[in-house]
Structure 1
Amino acid sequence: MARDGVKARYMTPAFVTMTSPCHFTLVTGKYIENHGVVHNMFYNTTSKVKLPYHATLGIQSWWDNGSIPIWITAQRQGLKTGSFFYPGGNVTYQGMAATLSRKEGILHNYKDEKEWRANVDTVMRWLTEEGLDLVTLYFGEPDSTGHKFGPESPERKAMVEQVDRTVGYLRSRIASHGLAGSLNLIITSDHGMATVRKNASDLVEFHKFPNFTFKDIEFELLDYGPNGMLLPKEGLLDKVYAALRHAHPRLHVYRKEDFPASFHYASHPRITPLLMYSDPGYVIHGRLSVQFNNGEHGFDNKSPDMKTIFRAVGPSFKKGLEVEPFDSIHVYELMCHLLGIKPEANDGRLSTLLPTLHSGSAVQTRCWPRLLMGLLVAWMLLATTP
């Protein structure tokens, strides 16, 4: 793909570098504090309800909270779209859903290469028989294997080879269906992966902090990698903050209003009064030390391990071009341009990625461009007629 199309040195995901928030940034072009999908888990600080990732995928109110993703924008302008396992792609937004969608099951086997190829074949039918113009296709690897075994493990390297074979299969099916001249393919991801320092002598363990007690906490969202949120009981914010501010050299705790603005994360009503993140390689343990992953993400998006890939190939893209790093917020504007649709208000700039395209590759007529976006832990297939 790098030889036949465009390669970025790397792409910087949004912070917090989690699956659902970063995926929603790709399809809205917004920083996380502006689109509101601030975590992989649905949570409610009043009812104390917390739902796991797969359950959250079906909670419409978590996703449909004011931002309109590209599936809906495209359909409002006459196109047909599809989402295959893409986070946020199977709920309705302001009463509208993607034309076609598939949602992964809670016991879905992320590693089945045979199923991957069947999924690719389904997407090809969507594009050729159902006439879809945009499809987002998601694969949960090599993320799952990276969590279990670590990013440098032989198991994860073998999974990367499986991913590569599947990209090859995808491109071969695009060619065999006669779509090579009308389909733009983007392969990217939501985040990177870092090795967890499981045996470090300075683990971040809340239950061992001498001046902190959970009796002062009304609501907590901990034990989810290197990030955490706390709602202190009424009148105890200052006390809790004072106890945690210097509790551990690897832990960075902030009042919501003081969280670094460069992260574009904290200025959303869903964020609790106290939030935190830990240094690369360190996860945050709450009441017990219960996190056992060998690989993790969610760290500072400036960390090299959190960077991710971007490849694009198709009739609209230049060949053999390597571009400088860019932020993931800009991918949305690129996709809207390729589809010939007017974007919603967003934080990206078309000028950032416009140089990846042939001059005049903007859609000049309403020939309904098509785009396939595929993500390894998110892939996008943008079928686009230039």
Structure 2
Amino acid sequence: MENCLVRVNYLVIVILLTVLSSCSPGELNKLLLVSFDGFRWDYLQRVTTPNFDALIKDGVQVKHVENVYITKTYPNHYTMVTGLYAESHGIVANEMYDPSLNQAFSMNKMDVYDSRWWDEAEPLWVTNQRAGHRSGAVMWPGSDVEIRGTYPTHYLLYNSSVSFEVRVQKLIDWFKSKEAINFGVLYWEEPDESGHSLGPESPLMNAVITDIDEKLGFLVEQLKSAGLFDTMNIIITSDHGMTAMSTEKIIELDNYVNGDLYTIIDKSPVVAILPKEGKFDEVYSALVNKNPNMTVYNREDIPDHYNYKQNARIMPIIIEAKEGWTIVQNKNGTFMLGNHGYDNRLPSMHPLFVAHGPAFRQGYKKDGMRSVDLYPLMCSILGIQPSPNNGSLSNVQDLLKQTHPTQPIPHIPQVRESSYAWVLGVLLGIALVIGFLIGFVKQVTDRQLSVVPHTNLEIVQPLLQADLHL
């Protein structure tokens, strides 16, 4: 009988451990996506960048990332988190007009918070949360907008005055909280702002690049101090590059067409033209083939490789400047020494890409990738099912240690439900153990009763009661 009780004790312990381990939430892969706006791929060759070098040495680097047309901030940041071309996700420029809404969009105005501009696509933080996980977003374009009825689990309203250090600490707090996030996005405005004002070839840009490297070092040190670095997958990238401008390379549209016949929706170097009603032919014929340093497109004739014509927010006439040229209505406006937005095949428009973490290979370099492929790569790391997208995991699978895509983690309930589900699972597990124990003890008792005289039945009863309280 004593041997039976020992086996019961052992069996209860094993079953309880099994139930608890199966009910408790598993450890999720962590991913942090960081964008340094306007960081051109070859800036790393300009100055010493020890913090970038350290990540590259133990991680991966892609030399050229072909981003999406047009190579501006909002379209490319939304591409990174949706895997879609601009014509598919709907954020076709920094400045837009939607004829169905009869409204304009500007990245510098409050209309950016109107969900209707963003709802043509589902960003990764929404997909991640639909899978039952948590996301955190710091200043990423669109992350402080309710998209398809959902905000990130944690987010900060955009405020350019918030320091990089504060942004980093917020993310770390969210990764370390009791209900921790598994996916975070972080945006920083530099070196884009300096690239515009100084020009990318200016020697003054060297100090800006050095400062970005130091900021990366701060991020890494904070992750290490929080005990997150070894388990964190980090992707450092950007939305676009930058090219130098010249006051000798300016095209004035007033030299070719009356400004009263059209409205400029988006600015150089890809100028979006909305002709006044009935004036399309007049405006188009006045501009096409008039200057060798600009190409004028009827929207239907935009080259297919741009993936930039299947959306009503793309204006009927698009004027593309050659690299380094600026298109203005007249010379009354401001002039920048650096700009972006040009053909996405130009090396000067390409951003950097560096990644590090347990999911990535070590010391691996790749010549090129497409920015639309970043989204399925991140979904694979997070173990979630991607939404329909224009990317391909097979194009970037070689960046990962695994030779096969990570299988999506089965859907688990949202945050509050998962906590209750875990408790319910434990209670059900305990109930099963007790039920099993009662049945097991009953079988043992029946065997004992078959050999114990009826006069000794009272000797067995206390022992069974003790068993039931184990």
Change (3 A) 1:361 1:179: farther
Q: Secondary structure of 2:116's partner?
A: helix
- Gap runs ≥5 in structure 2: 1-54, 412-470
> Structure 1 residues 243 and 184, CA, compared in 2 at 3 Å: closer, same or farther?
same
* Distance 1:208-1:50 versus aligned 2 partners, 3 A rule: farther
Q: Which residue of 2 aligns with 1:80?
A: 134
Q: Among 235, 243, 257, which residue is 2:300 paired with?
A: 257
- For residues 167-192 of structure 1, the C-alpha deviation after alignment (integer angstroms, 9 at most, x for no partner) is 11111221221112321000000000
Change in CA separation of 1:31 and 1:48 when aligned onto 2, cut-off 3 Å: closer
Is the 8 Å Cα contact of residues 384 and 408 (structure 2) preserved in structure 1? no
CA distance in 1, matches of 2:272, 2:358: 45
Confirm or deny: 8 A CA contact 2:397 2:403 kept in the other structure: no
* Matched AA of 1:271: I
Alignment partners' CA distance in 2, 1:364 and 1:303: 35
Check if 1:151 corresponds to 2:200. yes
Does residue 1:117 correspond to 2:160, yes or no? Answer: no
Asked if residue 278 in structure 1 is aligned to residue 341 in structure 2, the reply is no
Taking a change above 3 Å as real, the CA distance of residues 7 and 242 of structure 1, as seen in their structure-2 partners, is same
Q: Summarize the Cα distance change of 1:304–1:228 in structure 2 as closer, same or farther, 3 Å threshold.
A: same
Quick check: 1:207–1:288 contact (8 Å CA) kept in 2? no
Q: 2:218 matched to 1:169?
A: yes
How many residue pairs end up in the alignment? 355
- State the secondary structure of the residue aligned to 2:229: coil
Aligned pair partner of 1:220 in 261, 264, 272: 264
Q: Distance in 2 between matches of 1:90 and 1:42?
A: 19
Match of 2:56, SS state, is coil
Question: SS of the counterpart of 2:234?
Answer: strand
* One-letter amino acid of the counterpart of residue 125, structure 2: W
Distance 1:52 1:136 in 2: 19
Given that residues 43 and 50 in structure 1 are in contact (C-alpha distance below 8 angstroms), is that contact kept between their aligned partners in structure 2?
Answer: yes
**Is 1:330–1:352's contact at 8 Å kept on the other side of the alignment?**
yes
Of all paired residues, the percent bearing the same amino acid is 33
Structure 2 counterpart of 1:40, from 89, 94, 103: 94
Query: What secondary structure does 2:165 align onto?
Result: helix
**Taking CA–CA contacts closer than 8 Å with sequence separation of 6 or more, which of the two structures ends up with the larger relative contact order?**
1
Contact conserved, 2:105 with 2:111, CA < 8 A, in 1? Answer: no
Separation (CA, whole Å) in 2 of partners of 1:366 and 1:216: 55
| Distance in 2 between residues matched to 1:246 and 1:365, nearest whole Å | 51
Distance 1:27 1:307 in 2: 17
Equivalent pair of 2:128/2:135 in contact (CA under 8 Å): yes
| Cα gap change, 1:67 to 1:4, in 2 (>3 Å) | same
In the alignment, structure 1 residue 16 sits paired with structure 2 residue 60: no
Alignment of 1:222-241 (within 5 A): 222=266, 224-241=267-284
Structure 2 vs 1, CA of residues 23 and 353 (structure 1 numbering), >3 Å: closer, same or farther?
A: same
Q: Tell me the CA shift for residue 292 of structure 1.
A: 1.2
C-alpha distance in structure 2 between counterparts of 1:8 and 1:142, whole Å: 19
Once the two structures are superposed, what CA deviation does each residue of 1:90-146 show, in whole Å capped at 9, x if it has no partner?
Answer: 1112211110111223xx34xx8xx21221111111111140111000001000111
Q: Tell me, in whole angstroms, the C-alpha distance in 2 between the residues paired with 1:141 and 1:56.
A: 24
Please report the TM-score for the alignment, with normalisation by the length of structure 2.
0.72
TM-score (norm 1): 0.87
Structure 1 residues not aligned, in runs of 5+: 369-386
Structure 1 counterpart of 2:145, which letter? V
Distance change (3 Å), C-alpha of 1:234 and 1:184 = same
The alpha carbon displacement at 1:269 in A equals 1.1
Alignment of 1:50-61 (within 5 A): 51-61=106-116
CA distance in 2, matches of 1:196, 1:56: 30
| Distance across 1 between alignment mates of 2:103 and 2:409 | 49
Range with bigger deviation, 184-193 or 9-18: 9-18
Contact 1:187-1:312 at 8 Å conserved across structures: yes
